[in-house]
Every structure is written in structure tokens, then in C-alpha cells.
């Protein structure tokens, strides 16, 4: 049984750069997300969700698996005041088959291929696919670097 989860529980992204609405399924090595493309999206041009938008949606989907460990401890308790920075370090075998349009809903699935956990940082490789209904939109392998940042609060 699946329970939809707000992606903002796993990522630091906020509008207008948030390219995922909900996590449909998340496990240690798999994540599935959903995203409704709205006409005011910054990656919409002439009614079409451009390539950069599809890639950002994919990266955010992948990041939710890695980001989960920073936002929640091993008991599932939420960690307050977590600051992360993340980078796409590589995209391999990228194939964009079709671009979705405004008001299309896309489903993105990512599976963990490999992960190196360095404590305050994580490197991972994910295999990804995006779909509109049964039509494959994108497939690729993406490498991510996620790091916990130190934020000083001055009083």
C-alpha cells in the first residue's frame, strides 16, 4: 500500500524551483514521484515542459532518496534546521523521447545503482525514467553529490 508524501519533507527545494509534487513510493533503493506541469512553471516554453525541466524533475526525484537520511534520523524523527546543498555531477546515457505539455502529469521513477556515504556527504548513481501515462519521456543515469552544510546562527 502506498502513501503519498510531501516531497518538501525530503528536499530543500521550494517554489518556483520545486519540480515534484508528491512522493508516491519511497524505499531505500527506489523512489517514484508525480508532478503536474502548470502553465506558470519556469521550465515551460510555448506550452511545452523543456528538457531542463525534465532533468530537474529527475534530479529532485533522485535526491529524495539521499536527502531522506539527512531530514529524518534512524528512528524516523524529523531533524530540524537541516541545510543541504546538492549537485548533479554527471548525466549519462540521457535520452529524451518526448517533451510533455502543460497540464500533463509525469511519473518519475529512480532506482539506486550505487551509493557512497561519507557522513556529511553522499555520492550516488541512480537509474531514472519519466513517463506520461505509458509513454516514456526520459531515461538516464544520474550521479548526485549531496552535502550537509553548516549554518551558523548569530544571536
Edge-to-edge strand list for the sheet holding 105-117: 5-6, 22-26, 30-36, 105-117, 121-132, 135-148, 84-96
Say if strands 30-36 and 84-96 run parallel, antiparallel, or are unpaired: unpaired
Q: What mean pLDDT do residues 20-34 have? A: 91
In tens, the pLDDT along 133-152 reads 999 999 999 999 887 775 53
Q: Where are the domains of the chain?
A: 5-148
pTM of the full predicted structure? 0.81
- Contact present, 64 and 35 (Cβ < 8 Å): no
What rounded mean pLDDT belongs to the chain?
Answer: 82
At the fourth CATH level, the homologous superfamily of domain 5-148 is: Hotdog Thioesterase (3.10.129.10)
Over residues 47-97, the pLDDT tens digits come to 999 999 999 999 999 887 765 555 545 555 555 665 667 788 999 999 999
Amino acid at each position: 500500500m502506498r502513501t503519498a508524501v510531501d516531497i518538501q519533507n525530503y528536499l530543500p527545494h521550494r517554489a518556483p524551483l520545486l519540480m515534484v509534487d508528491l512522493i508516491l513510493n519511497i524505499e531505500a533503493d527506489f523512489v517514484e514521484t508525480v508532478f503536474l506541469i502548470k502553465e506558470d512553471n519556469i521550465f515551460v516554453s510555448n506550452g511545452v515542459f523543456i528538457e531542463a525541466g525534465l532533468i530537474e524533475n529527475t534530479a529532485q526525484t533522485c535526491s529524495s532518496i539521499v536527502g531522506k537520511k539527512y531530514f529524518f534520523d534512524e528512528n524516523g524523527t524529523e531533524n530540524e534546521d537541516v541545510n543541504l546543498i546538492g549537485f548533479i555531477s554527471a548525466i549519462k546515457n540521457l535520452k529524451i523521447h518526448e517533451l510533455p505539455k502543460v497540464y500533463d502529469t509525469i511519473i518519475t521513477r529512480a532506482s539506486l545503482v550505487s551509493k557512497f556515504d561519507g557522513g556529511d556527504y553522499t555520492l550516488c548513481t541512480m537509474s531514472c525514467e519519466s513517463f506520461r501515462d505509458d509513454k516514456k519521456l526520459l531515461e538516464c543515469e544520474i550521479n548526485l553529490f549531496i552535502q550537509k552544510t553548516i549554518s551558523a546562527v548569530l544571536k
